[in-house]
Chain A
């Protein structure tokens, strides 16, 4: 599904990723854990194609296709979805307008028919009901005035509608209380499928109680320094990142 090989990336001339390699198989839920400043957010931005990051070495291959030369929206159409740690507010653009624009932009790039309005509304309604997103929220400008929990639910709603191949969850648990966390996790779990992978980036093990990973990778100083199964997350919870920070230094 996703193969990252020897990835080096800079921002403002400073190297953040220093030879990161990682493979995520179809259907796999891979957790990336690491201390602050290890490059977790940079990894999510580099994979999703944000401007300002310079990849100096290495490759990112999605289903056999190198995506590094693609722009962010092209990668999105190829099936990469980033659930933002801090979803952006877009004043004046209603959530419905945005959802339709995003879904149709992706379909257009893939050479598919655009959705008819009734079809679009039906899909949004179904997904929104399941996630407890109100009609009122859908009429409001995207994320404007939403609470932290509402914003994260909106991210999951978008994930459901855009049906990605690989979803990257960037610190999705930050700022969520237990109830909101459970709703988000249920939404994600419902999307687990043999042809869909997840990259769950988190600082804490807490989220992994709800989204149980197939593999756990420790990111430190820009590289994966240890990989294991879900037991590794528990070990990190107990011992912290000390050992790995020292290793990397």
Chain B
């Protein structure tokens, strides 16, 4: 029951509110979808852009960071590609050409919305994160994205790549909403990579629903040119004995807020959220997680490493919630940060919220600089200082990178890490 200060609309808020008024009539979906959109918009309308007095956004004051809301792109569809590559340009989905593996179905979200049944609407507009103003704005405004359905028992070995891009040089906003439904016993992996000319404000949402004993691994990656401002929401509901893992590799973008709302709803879930952030210049990256165990025998692991140089700032907020009766929950969370510069800052807030007694939960957080003893040890073996520092940073990051299951993706991220370090050294 936080009392809200009187709503004084900022310029950006006013234009976001107006954009919904303009767009709402033309957004895809029938009455039920429209109802869900309106409810979501009301949340945004009531709260406005999140600011530092909103606890979950304390360290990323969007009201301050988003002085101006760029016009939302009308959207230029990208050229279709072959294989398992879905292009989402300016928020508009282009499906790949050619045959798909058995058990995999891809649908543009605009089409899925237009003919959405109750079950799909329920999946698309979950209660998780519904209170968050930015996730709500996404739900209200998203026009397109992709619906990925993996049939029960299907084993899709190759990663399905979602490539988010933007067209043109003019500053603009893009919004997309994707849903991944993994049937019972099915397995798939998703690579979500983000690029854009610098002057893009992106609001993207990925929603996952894992059936019984399903398995999904997700990798989020930012590339060299990424949005100026990006709010990426991840929502996952994990069924009985299912395994969900998500890995984030962040090395680009000016302001990035990643927020994940993950809930285990069946016994025996395995949830793993991990990531590496490499930040420099004035970059700001915020990782905020809410992991909820609603039923017994769940396991969750979170491990995030942040390396900060220049005037960069990093945020890690991780909350593990164990609901009453979610006995035998095993939760472990770790955030480690290395500050390479006196002007960098790291904010850690690992939270435990526990309502069941028979659990083992813990978290650890460390912040510090490179260990001089380690540097000396390497130098005493003949390795120059800069190289020694690079090796230690790389080792620090690789400890968590090793958890990426897909070898090709792991190598690709490893190359990104080496590249970042090489640029830092030069």
* A-to-B contact residues, CB < 8 Å: 48-52, 71-73, 75-77, 81-82, 84, 87-93, 97-98, 101-103, 105-106, 109, 141, 158, 162
Contacts and interface: CB of A to CB of B under 8 A. Distances in A.
B396 A76 contact: no
Given A51-B372, A90-B395, A92-B398, A162 B381 contact: yes
A109 to B, nearest CB: 7
A162 B376 contact: no
A77 B379 CA distance: 10
B55 interface: no
A44 to B, nearest CB: 10
Interface residues of B, number: 25
B379 A90 contact: no
B377 A88 contact: yes
B392 A76 contact: no
B368 interface: no
B379 A92 contact: no
B376 A51 contact: yes
Contacts of B387: 101, 105
Given A52-B372, A93-B394, 18 more contacts: A51-B376, A71-B379, A72-B379, A72-B380, A73-B378, A75-B380, A76-B381, A76-B383, A77-B382, A87-B377, A88-B371, A90-B395, A91-B399, A92-B398, A92-B399, A102-B378, A105-B381, A106-B381
Nearest to B388: A73
B355 to A, nearest CB: 34
Interface in B384-413: 384-385, 387-388, 391-392, 394-399, 402
Interface of B: 371-374, 376-385, 387-388, 391-392, 394-399, 402
Central interface residue in A51, A52, A102, by most chain B CB within 10 Å = A102
Nearest to A142: B395
Contacts of A88: 371, 373-374, 377
Contact of B396 (A51, A71, A92, A98): A92
A73 B379 CA distance: 4
The 8 A-B pairs of least Cβ separation, nearest first, read: A92-B395, A93-B395, A72-B379, A106-B382, A76-B382, A102-B381, A92-B399, A88-B377
A158 to B, nearest CB: 7
Contacts of B399: 91-92, 141
B383 A102 contact: yes
B382 A102 contact: yes
Q: Is the interface of B mostly helix, strand, loop or mixed?
A: helix
A159 B395 CA distance: 23
Given A84-B377, A90-B377, A91-B399, A101 B392 contact: no
Nearest to B396: A92
Contacts, number: 87
A124 B376 CA distance: 23
Contacts of A73: 378-385, 388
A76 B388 CA distance: 13
Contacts of A72: 376, 379-380
7 contacts: A71-B379, A71-B384, A76-B379, A89-B374, A90-B377, A93-B392, A101-B383
A141 B197 CA distance: 39
A160 B392 CA distance: 23
Contacts of B379: 49, 71-73, 76
B383 A141 contact: no
A84 to B, nearest CB: 7
Given A84-B377, A87-B377, A92 B397 contact: yes
Central interface residue in B384, B394, B398, by most chain A CB within 10 Å = B384
Contacts of B376: 50-51, 72
Contact of B382 (A51, A84, A105): A105
A24 to B, nearest CB: 18
A98 B380 contact: no
Contacts of B385: 71, 73
A72 B384 CA distance: 8
Contacts of A51: 372, 376
B410 to A, nearest CB: 13
B56 to A, nearest CB: 31
B397 to A, nearest CB: 7
B374 A90 contact: yes
A91 to B, nearest CB: 5
B373 to A, nearest CB: 6
Contacts of A103: 382
Contacts of B377: 84, 87-88, 90
A90 B371 CA distance: 10
A67 B392 CA distance: 26
A77 B397 CA distance: 28
Contacts of B381: 73, 76, 98, 102, 105-106, 158, 162
A66 B100 CA distance: 69
Central interface residue in A48, A50, A72, A97, by most chain B CB within 10 Å = A72
Nearest to B384: A73
Central interface residue in B376, B379, B382, B384, by most chain A CB within 10 Å = B382
